[in-house]
Structure 1
């Protein structure tokens, strides 16, 4: 009997501790409130911006259905709502558009202040078959342990709530999972609030269920922890924007592109150094291009890459249109394509739209069929020799925007094999170009809206509403997680090894 009472007392103590720590943080910035009317006004402005400016907001939901969701949110507003509660409401609403480039966020000044407080769940996770596993080694909870509950909320009930706060193109099944993995502590904070400690139930790798109190950490520490995972990608190539290294035994070069915010000259220099002018050939036979954590960037780099791989300029024509020839709701504009709002930046954006998008049709303005890679200013041509070997492209749900475009384009080549999982970026068409950032009037919540919708011509429509699928589907298993095995990368090397062996026979 004493044993049972002791257990009950521990549970009560843990619950009180978590509750006390949660309430002690209620004075933080994100808990500032606005009135019901102020929140309703911000939702109305949000709807008007989406309705007037977005390139194709009703690709996956009708205008009537979306407007009803907005009105339902307004009707359910309490008399007062905190900034964080409004952010959750806005994110859930935004999720229904299924546009990965339409993003909402709390006022950056609020976020900056709150990231310094020790109130975030610290542990990065890996989601495998709907379960969350610890993907971290600097914790009392062992690497590979399955999280069962946090503060008495079971993980299978928690994950869908967090996924509803993410954005993705269409119905890609992988991007929301990878998004939650990359910022699990932040999404948990948004949905469930702050706490200086968390009551965690977990099952260790040998199957024993345990209960532990995990101390909260500052938001910056929480985000930094994600740089140490996934543990199976601990090679230095994943800690740089771009990296080039070789596996000499397989005559293989590994080009890791973690972003497209790289200098095009880097490609000329690094790739050119592997070419023997005397023999007129590269010193490697296989190329692995790793795009698994590349969420996009400067599309001009695609042209440079394509020229290296094919010897010709990229031709990827698309049908494009806008729904307005102006920048709408100027009063709330903060920036356009990263440039702060000025009369000059507004005029430049509108001049661009009116130059290309002149043909009115069914409530929109169409541009002629164009290969936009010919139109981009400042595109650097690759001057070296082309690579004729075998190419293996690694993709994941985090492969998004320009990186997803590259995967789609390369996947159509005969000497390219895609390995991994469905990309997070749309295969057929998406709104992504000319990104206008707005600030809502009462909460200062940020809203990023893509003005131009683009539908690719040289693709099959079989993948409409989804990302680009791999030729070989490979995902991390629980066993891979425990063994710290990079199963996707190793699968590519195994294919190369088999091909080399077959060729030698």
Structure 2
């Protein structure tokens, strides 16, 4: 599945469960009473409190309970479902579980109704592509509006500073631990407009205050009729190549998702056989923008990068002692049984590239490699997935009774093999890379530039 489509579906609005609302207008514009919304808060918290396996990993339960109580006290007036969703997410995200999602159901809405509300209207925020650098916001593509040039910095949107816009959007995105790089990645992965709309509502007009060079100006952008920009077709999840002089190999692993037509085990094995035949001693393993997928596919790659049997992830003893929980955990290879090294396993130097999009199974793989292999040099940005592990495996979906929201969370607590000192953080690179807007517009690859310079210097 394409990264943008996958993020949109998992983080934002799409679900296929039963709906109470029967039209898009009702779903996105009608308001629900405080009494009904508070019931949904209680339902969500009861579900997580009773069944989430890592609820107090990053926040004490009494602090979370206090946040829930405070949230309920703020619900004094009727809210739209989007407004309620955001309020609830600001509390749920404090759990520090990046796999938790809260999606709005649209399954009972007719395709024509949906298209008339969304597809046939091009909202102002959808008319541009954006990139965030820390707390600064830039336009990187002007899709259907020439009024704002590419490279312009956005200072405010409808009078709200860009810094405040980003802060508020961050509060509605779940991430592992105390990590911010996954939140930044999410907003930079082509779904900024979706997150903006789910946070601030679907706005028919936006006043942009921008700065281009030394010039500051205000641009009013209104909704246009017609279809939005098309979603990009799926891409090959993995690529492999040798350098022209055969001194190093580059392996780009974009996804472990089974929805992609890619023979993970067979293809990985063939690549490593090629490296063995070429007597290759240097591998660039690129896990940037890989938000995970099937852990089995990550484990197949792990088997080609270890020299002795290893677990891929560790689960609490209470799970292996409980037959029902053990059965669920056993769905994940490398959890209840060790991963056996492949006969084609690689033992040379590894440059491991990571960023905020290195998440879930990809983040676990990265953390495990760093913990078990002294030949690994990590380059890039703090990984979006926690270096200590995550809560995933099998997932439970719970429909909230009144707000048409579906809560999803993982049921298996999985820890990585390393003992990393910074609790709640991703894998921290030894070589940290920082981009400027000029780098982004020029489509530079600073991580690869650093790696190639380092290889040449040896």
1:266-318 Cα distance to aligned partner (Å, 9 max, x none): 443365267469xx623644322221111111111232212222355443452
1:344-385 Cα distance to aligned partner (Å, 9 max, x none): xxxxxx96316689xxxxxxxxx9xxx9616479x9x88652
Does the CA contact (< 8 Å) of 1:300 and 1:376 recur in 2?
Answer: no
Does the CA contact (< 8 Å) of 1:320 and 1:452 recur in 2?
Answer: no
Q: Does 1:442 align with 2:425?
A: no
Shift of 1:257: 1.4
Query: What is the 5 A alignment of 1:286-305?
Result: 286-305=282-301
Structure 2 length-normalised TM: 0.81
Q: Does 1:411 align with 2:370?
A: yes
Q: Which residue of 2 aligns with 1:502?
A: none
Does the CA contact (< 8 Å) of 2:130 and 2:137 recur in 1?
Answer: yes
- The gaps in structure 1 that reach 5 residues or longer are 1-25, 229-237, 326-349, 358-366, 500-505
Does the CA contact (< 8 Å) of 2:178 and 2:424 recur in 1?
Answer: yes
Shift of 1:66: 1.6
1:405-455 Cα distance to aligned partner (Å, 9 max, x none): 111112231222111111111112432232111110111201112223233
SS at match of 2:173: coil
Q: Which residue of 1 aligns with 2:18?
A: none
Does the CA contact (< 8 Å) of 1:100 and 1:425 recur in 2?
Answer: yes
Q: Which residue of 2 aligns with 1:69?
A: 67
- The gaps in structure 2 that reach 5 residues or longer are 1-23
Shift of 1:467: 0.9
Name the stretch that deviates more: 49-58 or 106-115.
106-115
Q: Which residue of 2 aligns with 1:428?
A: 388
How many angstroms apart in 2 are the aligned matches of 1:388 and 1:322? 35
Tell me: CA distance 1:130–1:265, structure 2 relative to 1, closer, same or farther (3 Å). Answer: same
Q: Which residue of 1 aligns with 2:152?
A: 145
Tell me: CA distance 1:55–1:158, structure 2 relative to 1, closer, same or farther (3 Å). Answer: same
Name the stretch that deviates more: 268-277 or 408-417.
268-277
**Which has the larger Rg?**
1
How many angstroms apart in 2 are the aligned matches of 1:483 and 1:64? 49
Aligned match for 1:92, one of 80, 90, 93: 90
Q: Which residue of 2 aligns with 1:192?
A: 200
Shift of 1:102: 1.7
Name the stretch that deviates more: 47-56 or 384-393.
384-393
Query: What is the 5 A alignment of 1:20-419?
Result: 27=25, 29-109=27-107, 113=114, 115-116=118-119, 117-119=121-123, 121-122=125-126, 123-136=128-141, 138=143, 140=146, 141-182=148-189, 183-204=191-212, 206-216=213-223, 221=228, 224=231, 239-249=235-245, 251-262=247-258, 265-269=263-267, 271-272=269-270, 275=273, 281-282=277-278, 284-316=280-312, 318-320=314-316, 352-353=324-325, 373=334, 375=336, 385-412=344-371, 413-419=373-379
Tell me: CA distance 1:37–1:178, structure 2 relative to 1, closer, same or farther (3 Å). Answer: same
SS at match of 1:49: helix
Name the stretch that deviates more: 297-306 or 130-139.
130-139
Query: What is the 5 A alignment of 1:431-470?
Result: 431-456=391-416, 458-470=417-429
RMSD over aligned CA atoms reads: 3.4
Shift of 1:460: 1.9
Does the CA contact (< 8 Å) of 2:240 and 2:251 recur in 1?
Answer: yes
Q: Which residue of 2 aligns with 1:342?
A: none
Shift of 1:103: 1.7
Tell me: CA distance 1:313–1:219, structure 2 relative to 1, closer, same or farther (3 Å). Answer: farther
Tell me: CA distance 1:137–1:199, structure 2 relative to 1, closer, same or farther (3 Å). Answer: closer
Does the CA contact (< 8 Å) of 2:291 and 2:359 recur in 1?
Answer: yes
Shift of 1:39: 0.7
Structure 1 length-normalised TM: 0.74
Query: What is the 5 A alignment of 1:2-17?
Result: none
SS at match of 2:131: strand
Name the stretch that deviates more: 428-437 or 144-153.
428-437
Shift of 1:68: 2.2
How many angstroms apart in 1 are the aligned matches of 2:140 and 2:318? 42
